[in-house]
Structure 1
């Protein structure tokens, strides 16, 4: 069975049995009567490839999920590659509508009793300006759900949408006086003569392998450790958060070593496709 076909079959099967299996982790109470806390540092990379997009990540208490989108006509389709496009797998059906339903059920938050926004990172795979215009239209339909920038002020919502991918989205975004999405910056943005404020770029993301040689084997070179901590300190001083993609993601000591250094340096997000693996790691390192 082809990988794409298998993923769709798993998604269909999971949807059919949803509600008849174990109670998700976010709803389970501990012996003391408290729900497990969300893992705000946990970022579900390529979240839509899991059997139950969004829902699996939330069951593992993730604070951030990532969806790739393609503009096809007036639809925003979710996929990793064009050959996987499916008109039934839209941003609205997999993310926007389920988030709205959950926030309504939880009285205004993604995780009941938690007022901190969950991050929805939206990676644009088609031309950025036109794709963002359609994304903006769809986010406006769910305006009650999202953190909003309006006339110089940020008003927190249950979900904060951050736009990544094709950089042409930046122009129409910066022109807006009211928007329901923010921009995912790169390390080069820190070097701009007049850096954009955190009200536009709240997140700085970059490729780990382009900035560090260390892949978790042996000792982290001290020069690279100080570079990592300097990057994070610089972004935090501007009110921004940090995420690296392309970090090691094969279960084992090397991955744990990199994750440990990211935690020690106070990185805001750890990137993974292994939901259960990162959940267990973060629970063990509280």
Structure 2
């Protein structure tokens, strides 16, 4: 009798432990809060970078792509691998998630998710690159209702903003489009440029070492701090957001020092390969300027991929 009671108690205890483990697993799978400042740089060899980025709540992703057969874009700098396309692994799941959540990737999303498509590889033939860009443009227009876009002089935010960078120059093509669903990546040299207005180049993206030598190991110099704040302020006054990437290799402590300075300067997007470290830092030290960001519109999204439709109300003051 006592043995039976003991066995029953053990089974109940095991069931309780199993239940706790399953609940813990479910909690562990829940995505983190949306971090608009956090931006992931996909490692070249990572097969499927998007799920981890969305799970961690990062507000953007840079993916290297290489043109392949029929103008299709393949992830990574190497040769095309069957099935490893931008459309299959990034665009389709990204927009499916936003469509299923009424026009947002996360419940607390306030600004667009920034997808940076970086053309890489040895093939620099202009015709091949432009054909690949036209394929990208066609794929994006299948998700027009969810994309930030420009119509005339108006920037309209959506769930996702797509920027194109790398070895392909799409500025002239984009400038000639009456309604564009992708944007060119810029540099601080574009500030005040009439040929590259914010409606064409809404985001400035530069590697850290292009203008700065500080590596985070020692305190930043007053000159470099002043330059950083001045450049960010000028970009914001010109109606652009700022993305800083290419941070120097070093210890996590050194990286945290750089992340802290970038946040203090008001950098909108901090891009890094150290996704987990960046997420933990931003959760402890959120960039407060996003608190007052205008919310994204809630859209009634159809299940099928819509084509471009009439413009929405003017929201050109919102970040894109």
User: Smaller-chain TM-score range?
Assistant: 0.7 to 0.9
Query: Are residue 76 (structure 1) and residue 73 (structure 2) matched?
Result: yes
- TM-score of the two chains, using structure 1 as the length reference: 0.82
The number of equivalent residue pairs is 257
Change (3 A) 1:53 1:158: same
Give CA deviations for 1:163-222 in whole Å, capped at 9, x if unaligned.
Answer: 111242111111111111111101222264x25221111110112112111111212111
CA-to-aligned-CA distance 1:6-58 (integer Å, 9 cap, x gap): xxxxxxxxxxxxxxx94476846xxxxxxx53111001012665464211011
With over 3 angstroms needed to count, the CA separation of the structure-2 counterparts of 1:251 and 1:152, relative to structure 1, is same
CA distance 1:247–1:37, change in 2 (3 Å): same
Residue of 55, 79, 90 corresponding to 2:85 = 90
Off by >6 Å, runs of 4+ in structure 1: none
The normalised TM-score by structure 2 is: 0.74
Are the aligned partners of 1:68 and 1:123 in contact in 2 as well (CA < 8 Å)?
Answer: yes
**Residue number among 42, 47, 51 corresponding to 1:46 in the alignment:** 42
Give the Cα separation in 2 of the matches to 1:214 and 1:251. Answer: 14
**Structure with bigger RCO (C-alpha 8 Å, 6+ apart):** 2
Structure 1 segments unaligned to the other structure (5+ residues): 1-20, 29-35
Do the aligned partners of 1:248 and 1:258 also contact (CA within 8 Å) in 2? Answer: no
Structure 1 residue 145, shift from structure 2 partner: 2.2
Helix, strand or coil: the match of 1:66?
A: strand
Cα separation, partners in 2 of 1:22 and 1:105, compared to 1, 3 Å:
farther
CA RMSD of aligned residues (A): 2.3
Q: In 2, Cα distance between the equivalents of 1:76 and 1:51?
A: 14
Q: Is the 8 A contact 1:119 1:160 kept in 2?
A: yes
Contact 2:215 2:250 in 1 (8 A): no
Counterparts of 1:121-270 in structure 2, within 5 Å, are 121-125=116-120, 127=126, 128-190=129-191, 192=193, 194=194, 196-270=196-270
1:140 CA displacement: 1.3
Larger Rg: 2
Q: Which ranges in structure 2 are unaligned for 5 or more consecutive residues?
A: 1-23, 287-320
